[in-house]
Structure 1
Amino acid sequence: MTILIPSYEPDVRLLNLVLQLQTFQLGPIVIVDDGSGSGYRGIFETAEAYGCTVLTHTVNLGKGRALKTGFQHIKEHGPQGGIVCADSDGQHLPHDIKRIFDVLLEQMTPGIVLGSRRFSGTIPARSRFGNTVTRGVFSLTTGTKVYDTQTGLRGFPFSMLDWLCQIPGERFEYEMNMLLTAHKEGYEITEEFIDTVYLDHNKSSHFRPLIDSFRIYMPILMFSTSSVLSALIDFGLLFVIQYFTHNLFLSVVAARLCSSIFNYTINRKYVFSAGKTTRVRQSLPKYFSLVILVLLLNYGLLYFYNEKLIIPLIAAKLLTEVSIFVFSYWAQRRFVY
């Protein structure tokens, strides 16, 4: 077992955590100083004196990069046991870190163990709101329910290190990308509820609400952009073909085929690649099988809205696209790419 702690500008709470963890004798502790600077050198030197391994970034590279630096070190130097990642600001209590360690020991198949907070009691408003929104969006877009998507307390078996080092993302978005790609790789996500701790209203957090939220939601935003562009192509071609043919079914099929080719190319290369592009022969048949299903849904909904409910074609088309957006994202991430 190895405990990995990424740290940026820590205070004495890091040292207290180290001393408390050592009483459990869980294994070596690796700390990554993510460019904290000379003003914090004393804390890291003290941690080294306590027996920790300290890896240093000369400049701040972000939490994702700090974790990958730690994972790479553990992969090369061992020991070959589970890895538990914890934050250095006192939010993760030693007994909860041990609980994640215990769950890892009982694992039958490789997977991620999350130390999930219940968000009970007095919680900073931005933390409660951020986690609620992220939890809802994650569930809608992946079909997987995770109560605490932003927890930094996570456990992994040694066999997952290669994958962990390859996940894209350098800052807080890395942890979200990890969850988004886990199912594709066949890794289960297990949650173990832990105490919710926010000290001084979470003032020690280095999370930047606007910039880091944008990074976290980037995969979903990219899919939305791809879908909007595809919808515009589909939308325009539908009316052009309908104008010349006066055949709704032919118009829907032709417009969807052209927009699907565009959508497949963008999603394969940029949205769902997770740092590596899937083979065309693997993903293309799955994608166009989904296209056929979505096409039938598209035509059925459009016919229902336009012909049965007598909704104007433009409004009916917009309602149809909104109806199948979430389903399409979930299906592509889960089955296609």
Structure 2
Amino acid sequence: MGYKVVVVGATGNVGREMLNILAEREFPVDQIAALASRKSLGTEVSFGDKTIKTQDLAAFDFTGWDMALFAIGSTATKEFAPKAAAAGCVVIDNSSLYRYDPDVPLIVPEVNPEAVHGYSKKNIIANPNCSTAQMVVALKPLHDRARIKRVVVSTYQSVSGAGKEGMDELWDQTKAVYNPTDDKPAKKFTKQIAFNVIPHIDVFMEDGSTKEEWKMVAETKKILDKSIKLTATCVRVPVFVGHSEALNIEFEDFLDEDEARDILREAPGLMVIDKREDGGYVTPIECVGDFATFISRIRQDSTIENGLNLWCVSDNLRKGAALNAVQIAELLGREVLKKG
């Protein structure tokens, strides 16, 4: 016996990826529904070797459905997630709306699976920000061994993190560079993204950080350990898919780089590719379509007493969004609903 699963926002990048991953991982689905806005009614989407037509989210009755994976913006989520939850359907939400709600668990299954039992307060589980998700998967096994005091992270985030509009803008501007008569001014981003980097993701806050940077701090504390100090600089780069992060980690106890490498190799969800030679590391283009979070460039930081540096790369549409949501669904089914 399997589950009755709803994918909300099934025509978007993340929604389509959710459907792909549910099929790839052979999630025990008895019945599936793909929902979208009324303007996308009837649009066909793929689920494994099947093609299904989207239904109207506004008219859908969630009664009798087990879980709903939401991949729509916060505004629409605010309207429809409580309706699904009230109908008895557990919501796994990819937006930022519920991440900081103390009554809603924020989960990365490799890091804090025990938090799933807190879902019942609102019948909602939150999926973290894409940049946070891959980072805490890498931090967790190291934190268990040597206790992390402080993290300094610089991110190199792909345009797919800004949705289809971001990907289209990079494509159009890149073509325009080679055709000077075809001007493509910035619309989705604040400056030209083609052949450029932009140290600005989300809105600015009073202290000078951006909300994306604030999210990484707040979410790491909620998911991993509230005592960890973290500072972030988040940068948009001209890459279509795949987020990269340079991490500087300070521990309470000494952790040798070789031991750290062994720990990370054994940790769930991680793949270590770390050779000190040309090409002996992973870049975003190589991680696209993969489930793993890749770790490279592991090395001691001699400027502090107990420090390590490492490079972390992941497909942000997968681990940063759709894969993590499906993993939460698997965890929910295995630990709580216990049908499949």
Fold match by TM threshold 0.5: no
Give the TM-score normalised by the residue count of structure 2.
Answer: 0.26
Structure of higher RCO (CA pairs closer than 8 Å, 6+ residues apart): 2
Give the TM-score normalised by the residue count of structure 1.
Answer: 0.26
Greater per-residue strand proportion: 2
Greater per-residue helix proportion: 1
